[in-house]
Amino acid sequence: MASPKVISCPERIQPQLLTMASRPPAGDNWLYEIKFDGYRLMVRIDQGHVTLFTKNGYDWTKRMPKLAKELLALPVRSAWLDGEVIVQDEDGRPLFSALQSAFSSGKTDALCFFAFDLLFENGRDLRSLPIEKRRSRLSTLLTQVELEHVRLSETLDVDPRDLLYNICALSMEGIVCKRSGSRYASERNGSWVKVKCSPRQEFIIVGYTLAVGGIGSLLIGLHNDDGQLVYAGRVRSGFDGRTLKLLREKLAALEQTESPLRVVPKPSKGLIVVWVAAQLVCEVKYTEITPTGKARHAVFLGLREDKPASEINLETDAHDEP
Protein backbone atom coordinates (compact mmCIF):
# COMPACT_ATOMS: atom_id res chain seq x y z
CA MET A 1 0.00 0.00 0.00
CA ALA A 2 1.40 3.35 -1.04
CA SER A 3 2.23 5.86 1.68
CA PRO A 4 0.21 9.12 1.79
CA LYS A 5 1.75 11.80 -0.38
CA VAL A 6 3.91 14.22 1.59
CA ILE A 7 3.41 17.85 0.56
CA SER A 8 4.72 21.20 1.77
CA CYS A 9 2.83 23.12 4.40
CA PRO A 10 0.26 25.46 2.76
CA GLU A 11 1.01 29.15 3.12
CA ARG A 12 -2.64 29.93 3.84
CA ILE A 13 -5.82 28.02 4.65
CA GLN A 14 -9.14 29.83 4.79
CA PRO A 15 -11.25 28.91 7.82
CA GLN A 16 -14.48 26.94 7.63
CA LEU A 17 -17.38 29.33 8.20
CA LEU A 18 -20.43 28.82 10.40
CA THR A 19 -24.10 29.04 9.48
CA MET A 20 -26.25 30.77 12.09
CA ALA A 21 -29.43 29.02 13.25
CA SER A 22 -32.03 29.75 15.91
CA ARG A 23 -32.08 26.14 17.15
CA PRO A 24 -29.84 23.03 16.95
CA PRO A 25 -30.24 21.04 13.72
CA ALA A 26 -32.38 17.89 13.86
CA GLY A 27 -30.89 14.42 13.76
CA ASP A 28 -28.24 12.53 15.68
CA ASN A 29 -25.40 12.94 13.17
CA TRP A 30 -23.91 16.01 14.84
CA LEU A 31 -21.05 16.77 17.19
CA TYR A 32 -21.58 19.49 19.78
CA GLU A 33 -19.08 21.95 21.25
CA ILE A 34 -19.23 25.06 23.40
CA LYS A 35 -19.08 28.26 21.35
CA PHE A 36 -16.21 30.21 22.85
CA ASP A 37 -16.61 33.96 23.20
CA GLY A 38 -13.30 34.99 21.67
CA TYR A 39 -11.37 35.46 18.45
CA ARG A 40 -11.04 32.74 15.82
CA LEU A 41 -7.38 31.81 15.42
CA MET A 42 -5.64 29.76 12.71
CA VAL A 43 -2.21 28.41 13.67
CA ARG A 44 0.46 27.54 11.09
CA ILE A 45 3.56 25.65 12.23
CA ASP A 46 6.37 24.91 9.79
CA GLN A 47 10.07 24.16 10.31
CA GLY A 48 10.37 25.73 13.73
CA HIS A 49 8.25 28.80 12.97
CA VAL A 50 4.69 29.55 14.07
CA THR A 51 2.26 32.11 12.63
CA LEU A 52 -1.02 33.08 14.26
CA PHE A 53 -3.69 34.26 11.81
CA THR A 54 -7.05 35.85 12.61
CA LYS A 55 -10.16 34.71 10.77
CA ASN A 56 -9.56 37.36 8.11
CA GLY A 57 -5.89 36.58 7.65
CA TYR A 58 -4.21 39.20 9.82
CA ASP A 59 -0.88 38.06 11.26
CA TRP A 60 -1.16 38.54 15.02
CA THR A 61 1.86 36.44 16.04
CA LYS A 62 3.67 39.39 17.60
CA ARG A 63 0.58 40.26 19.63
CA MET A 64 0.60 36.84 21.35
CA PRO A 65 4.29 35.98 21.87
CA LYS A 66 3.79 33.64 24.83
CA LEU A 67 1.09 31.61 23.08
CA ALA A 68 3.20 31.40 19.92
CA LYS A 69 6.15 30.09 21.95
CA GLU A 70 3.97 27.43 23.60
CA LEU A 71 2.57 26.24 20.28
CA LEU A 72 6.11 25.68 18.99
CA ALA A 73 6.46 23.00 21.67
CA LEU A 74 3.95 20.78 19.88
CA PRO A 75 5.75 17.68 18.51
CA VAL A 76 5.16 18.35 14.80
CA ARG A 77 7.34 19.45 11.89
CA SER A 78 4.40 21.16 10.19
CA ALA A 79 0.74 21.68 11.04
CA TRP A 80 -2.35 23.85 10.68
CA LEU A 81 -4.70 24.11 13.69
CA ASP A 82 -8.07 25.83 13.88
CA GLY A 83 -9.42 27.16 17.17
CA GLU A 84 -10.42 30.09 19.33
CA VAL A 85 -8.33 32.34 21.57
CA ILE A 86 -10.08 33.51 24.74
CA VAL A 87 -9.66 34.93 28.23
CA GLN A 88 -11.28 32.90 31.04
CA ASP A 89 -12.66 34.02 34.38
CA GLU A 90 -12.07 32.13 37.64
CA ASP A 91 -14.82 29.64 36.73
CA GLY A 92 -13.40 29.01 33.26
CA ARG A 93 -16.02 31.03 31.37
CA PRO A 94 -14.82 33.12 28.41
CA LEU A 95 -14.80 36.89 28.97
CA PHE A 96 -14.93 38.83 25.71
CA SER A 97 -14.44 42.22 27.36
CA ALA A 98 -11.29 40.96 29.08
CA LEU A 99 -10.01 39.61 25.76
CA GLN A 100 -10.42 43.03 24.15
CA SER A 101 -8.64 44.66 27.09
CA ALA A 102 -5.77 42.19 26.81
CA PHE A 103 -5.13 43.10 23.18
CA SER A 104 -5.60 46.83 23.81
CA SER A 105 -3.05 46.82 26.64
CA GLY A 106 -0.68 44.30 25.04
CA LYS A 107 -0.96 42.03 28.11
CA THR A 108 -1.76 38.77 26.33
CA ASP A 109 0.21 36.23 28.36
CA ALA A 110 -2.95 34.81 29.98
CA LEU A 111 -4.74 34.07 26.68
CA CYS A 112 -5.84 30.47 26.13
CA PHE A 113 -6.12 28.75 22.76
CA PHE A 114 -8.81 26.07 22.45
CA ALA A 115 -8.07 23.97 19.36
CA PHE A 116 -10.99 22.24 17.67
CA ASP A 117 -9.59 21.03 14.35
CA LEU A 118 -6.37 19.79 12.75
CA LEU A 119 -6.14 20.53 9.02
CA PHE A 120 -2.56 19.60 8.19
CA GLU A 121 0.08 17.50 9.96
CA ASN A 122 3.64 16.58 9.01
CA GLY A 123 3.23 16.87 5.25
CA ARG A 124 -0.28 15.44 5.02
CA ASP A 125 -3.39 17.45 4.17
CA LEU A 126 -6.15 16.21 6.49
CA ARG A 127 -9.02 18.38 5.26
CA SER A 128 -10.67 15.58 3.25
CA LEU A 129 -10.83 13.29 6.30
CA PRO A 130 -14.05 13.06 8.34
CA ILE A 131 -14.12 15.48 11.24
CA GLU A 132 -13.98 12.63 13.76
CA LYS A 133 -10.63 11.44 12.38
CA ARG A 134 -9.20 14.97 12.30
CA ARG A 135 -10.26 15.52 15.91
CA SER A 136 -8.76 12.17 16.96
CA ARG A 137 -5.41 13.15 15.49
CA LEU A 138 -5.69 16.57 17.15
CA SER A 139 -6.37 14.97 20.53
CA THR A 140 -3.38 12.66 20.12
CA LEU A 141 -1.15 15.59 19.22
CA LEU A 142 -2.23 17.73 22.18
CA THR A 143 -1.83 14.91 24.72
CA GLN A 144 1.82 14.34 23.77
CA VAL A 145 2.94 17.50 25.57
CA GLU A 146 1.44 19.48 28.43
CA LEU A 147 0.93 23.14 27.54
CA GLU A 148 -0.40 25.72 29.98
CA HIS A 149 -2.43 27.77 27.50
CA VAL A 150 -3.23 25.31 24.69
CA ARG A 151 -6.20 22.97 25.14
CA LEU A 152 -8.60 20.76 23.22
CA SER A 153 -12.16 21.94 22.66
CA GLU A 154 -14.08 18.87 23.76
CA THR A 155 -17.19 17.54 22.02
CA LEU A 156 -20.11 16.89 24.35
CA ASP A 157 -22.31 13.79 23.97
CA VAL A 158 -25.56 15.33 25.27
CA ASP A 159 -28.93 16.49 24.01
CA PRO A 160 -28.11 19.79 22.26
CA ARG A 161 -31.24 21.46 23.65
CA ASP A 162 -30.17 20.66 27.21
CA LEU A 163 -26.63 21.77 26.41
CA LEU A 164 -27.84 25.07 24.98
CA TYR A 165 -30.10 25.68 27.98
CA ASN A 166 -27.26 25.14 30.44
CA ILE A 167 -24.78 27.17 28.40
CA CYS A 168 -27.22 30.09 28.33
CA ALA A 169 -27.86 29.72 32.09
CA LEU A 170 -24.12 30.22 32.60
CA SER A 171 -24.28 33.45 30.53
CA MET A 172 -22.06 31.98 27.80
CA GLU A 173 -22.42 32.59 24.08
CA GLY A 174 -23.94 29.38 22.69
CA ILE A 175 -23.03 26.09 21.01
CA VAL A 176 -21.54 24.90 17.72
CA CYS A 177 -22.96 21.86 15.91
CA LYS A 178 -20.70 20.07 13.41
CA ARG A 179 -21.96 17.43 11.02
CA SER A 180 -20.46 13.99 11.62
CA GLY A 181 -18.34 12.69 8.76
CA SER A 182 -17.92 16.11 7.15
CA ARG A 183 -14.70 17.26 5.52
CA TYR A 184 -13.11 20.65 6.22
CA ALA A 185 -14.30 23.20 3.66
CA SER A 186 -13.06 26.80 3.58
CA GLU A 187 -16.58 28.10 3.02
CA ARG A 188 -20.03 28.29 4.60
CA ASN A 189 -21.67 25.02 3.54
CA GLY A 190 -23.97 24.22 6.47
CA SER A 191 -21.73 21.56 8.01
CA TRP A 192 -20.89 23.86 10.93
CA VAL A 193 -23.85 25.55 12.62
CA LYS A 194 -23.78 28.09 15.47
CA VAL A 195 -26.69 28.60 17.84
CA LYS A 196 -26.43 31.63 20.11
CA CYS A 197 -28.13 32.25 23.44
CA SER A 198 -29.08 35.79 22.43
CA PRO A 199 -28.72 37.71 19.18
CA ARG A 200 -25.31 39.34 18.84
CA GLN A 201 -23.02 40.22 16.00
CA GLU A 202 -20.58 42.80 14.66
CA PHE A 203 -21.62 46.32 13.63
CA ILE A 204 -19.68 49.25 12.17
CA ILE A 205 -19.38 52.42 14.25
CA VAL A 206 -20.47 55.34 12.04
CA GLY A 207 -20.69 58.07 14.68
CA TYR A 208 -21.43 58.95 18.27
CA THR A 209 -23.53 61.39 20.26
CA LEU A 210 -21.93 63.88 22.62
CA ALA A 211 -22.54 63.78 26.35
CA VAL A 212 -21.02 65.35 29.41
CA GLY A 213 -17.55 63.88 29.57
CA GLY A 214 -17.47 62.58 25.99
CA ILE A 215 -19.55 59.80 24.39
CA GLY A 216 -23.25 59.36 25.11
CA SER A 217 -24.05 56.60 22.60
CA LEU A 218 -22.64 54.96 19.49
CA LEU A 219 -24.33 55.09 16.10
CA ILE A 220 -23.90 51.80 14.26
CA GLY A 221 -24.38 50.54 10.73
CA LEU A 222 -24.29 47.47 8.50
CA HIS A 223 -23.85 46.74 4.82
CA ASN A 224 -27.09 45.71 3.11
CA ASP A 225 -27.42 43.16 0.30
CA ASP A 226 -26.37 45.82 -2.21
CA GLY A 227 -23.20 46.58 -0.27
CA GLN A 228 -24.44 49.98 0.91
CA LEU A 229 -23.76 51.11 4.48
CA VAL A 230 -27.09 51.64 6.26
CA TYR A 231 -28.00 52.89 9.72
CA ALA A 232 -28.70 50.19 12.33
CA GLY A 233 -29.51 52.22 15.45
CA ARG A 234 -27.78 53.43 18.61
CA VAL A 235 -25.90 51.63 21.37
CA ARG A 236 -26.48 53.29 24.74
CA SER A 237 -25.22 50.76 27.30
CA GLY A 238 -22.37 48.37 28.00
CA PHE A 239 -19.70 51.04 28.51
CA ASP A 240 -17.41 51.41 31.50
CA GLY A 241 -14.80 54.10 32.15
CA ARG A 242 -11.97 52.22 30.47
CA THR A 243 -14.09 51.43 27.42
CA LEU A 244 -15.22 55.04 27.00
CA LYS A 245 -11.62 56.24 27.24
CA LEU A 246 -10.51 53.75 24.58
CA LEU A 247 -13.42 54.68 22.29
CA ARG A 248 -12.71 58.42 22.64
CA GLU A 249 -9.09 57.86 21.63
CA LYS A 250 -9.90 55.69 18.62
CA LEU A 251 -12.89 57.69 17.37
CA ALA A 252 -11.13 61.06 17.68
CA ALA A 253 -8.75 60.02 14.89
CA LEU A 254 -11.67 59.08 12.62
CA GLU A 255 -13.92 62.16 13.00
CA GLN A 256 -15.25 63.72 9.80
CA THR A 257 -17.85 66.31 8.84
CA GLU A 258 -19.87 64.10 6.49
CA SER A 259 -21.85 61.01 7.47
CA PRO A 260 -20.55 57.73 5.98
CA LEU A 261 -24.18 56.61 5.57
CA ARG A 262 -25.97 56.91 2.24
CA VAL A 263 -29.20 57.84 4.01
CA VAL A 264 -28.47 60.02 7.03
CA PRO A 265 -30.80 59.54 10.02
CA LYS A 266 -32.31 62.59 11.64
CA PRO A 267 -30.98 62.88 15.20
CA SER A 268 -33.42 63.13 18.11
CA LYS A 269 -34.03 66.61 19.45
CA GLY A 270 -31.16 67.85 21.60
CA LEU A 271 -28.62 65.25 20.41
CA ILE A 272 -25.34 66.34 18.84
CA VAL A 273 -23.90 63.74 16.46
CA VAL A 274 -20.23 63.43 15.55
CA TRP A 275 -19.65 61.37 12.39
CA VAL A 276 -16.62 59.12 11.95
CA ALA A 277 -15.08 57.16 9.11
CA ALA A 278 -16.61 53.69 8.94
CA GLN A 279 -13.56 51.72 10.07
CA LEU A 280 -14.13 50.53 13.64
CA VAL A 281 -16.07 47.30 14.24
CA CYS A 282 -17.78 46.50 17.52
CA GLU A 283 -19.62 43.47 18.88
CA VAL A 284 -23.16 44.21 20.05
CA LYS A 285 -25.84 42.18 21.85
CA TYR A 286 -29.48 43.04 21.13
CA THR A 287 -33.00 41.67 21.49
CA GLU A 288 -34.08 41.89 17.84
CA ILE A 289 -33.66 43.71 14.55
CA THR A 290 -36.77 45.80 13.91
CA PRO A 291 -38.57 45.86 10.52
CA THR A 292 -36.78 49.16 9.85
CA GLY A 293 -33.39 47.52 10.41
CA LYS A 294 -32.55 48.88 13.86
CA ALA A 295 -31.01 46.85 16.68
CA ARG A 296 -33.29 47.04 19.73
CA HIS A 297 -31.87 47.26 23.28
CA ALA A 298 -28.33 47.18 21.92
CA VAL A 299 -25.52 46.56 24.43
CA PHE A 300 -21.85 47.19 23.61
CA LEU A 301 -19.65 44.11 24.21
CA GLY A 302 -16.31 45.25 22.78
CA LEU A 303 -14.33 46.22 19.69
CA ARG A 304 -13.45 43.64 17.04
CA GLU A 305 -9.97 44.31 15.73
CA ASP A 306 -9.90 40.96 13.94
CA LYS A 307 -12.62 41.81 11.41
CA PRO A 308 -12.58 44.52 8.69
CA ALA A 309 -15.54 46.87 8.42
CA SER A 310 -15.90 46.09 4.72
CA GLU A 311 -17.15 42.56 5.51
CA ILE A 312 -19.76 43.42 8.16
CA ASN A 313 -23.39 42.75 7.22
CA LEU A 314 -26.46 41.32 8.94
CA GLU A 315 -26.26 37.68 9.94
CA THR A 316 -29.54 35.85 9.38
CA ASP A 317 -30.90 32.70 10.96
CA ALA A 318 -31.10 29.54 8.89
CA HIS A 319 -34.53 28.47 10.16
CA ASP A 320 -34.68 25.59 7.70
CA GLU A 321 -32.40 22.63 8.00
CA PRO A 322 -28.84 23.58 6.94
Output the furthest CA–CA distance in the chain (Å, rounded): 78
Residues 185 and 235 in one domain: no
Give the closest residue to 37 by CA, choosing from 131, 138, 170, 144. 170
Domain presence at residue 121: yes
The confidence score (pLDDT) of residue 307 equals 87
**Are 254 and 277 a contacting pair, CB within 8 Å?**
yes
Question: What angle is formed at CA 170 by the lines to CA 172 and CA 156, rounded to 5 degrees?
Answer: 75
Domain presence at residue 90: yes
CA dihedral 198→164→281→221, nearest 10 degrees, is -30
**Are 110 and 65 a contacting pair, CB within 8 Å?**
no
Q: How confident is the model at residue 101 (pLDDT cuts 50, 70, 90)?
A: confident
The least confident of 136-145, 168-177, 213-222, 309-318 is 309-318
Higher pLDDT, 96 or 5: 96
Residues 247 and 115 in one domain: no
* Structure letter (DSSP) for residue 143: H
Residues 143 and 277 in one domain: no
Known catalytic residues are 35
- Residue 142, CA distances (Å) to 44, 125, 257, 298 in order: 15, 18, 53, 39
Q: Domain holding 246: CATH number? A: 2.40.50.140
The pLDDT of residue 318 is above 90: no
Looking only at the bridges linking them, the beta strands covering 150-152 and 112-121 are parallel
Total domains, the chain: 2
Of 196, 212, 234, which marks where a domain is finished? 196
Domain presence at residue 49: yes
Residues 275 and 164 in one domain: no
Residues 234 and 266 in one domain: yes
Encoded amino acid at 118, one letter:
L
Domain range for residue 216?
200-311
Domain presence at residue 4: no
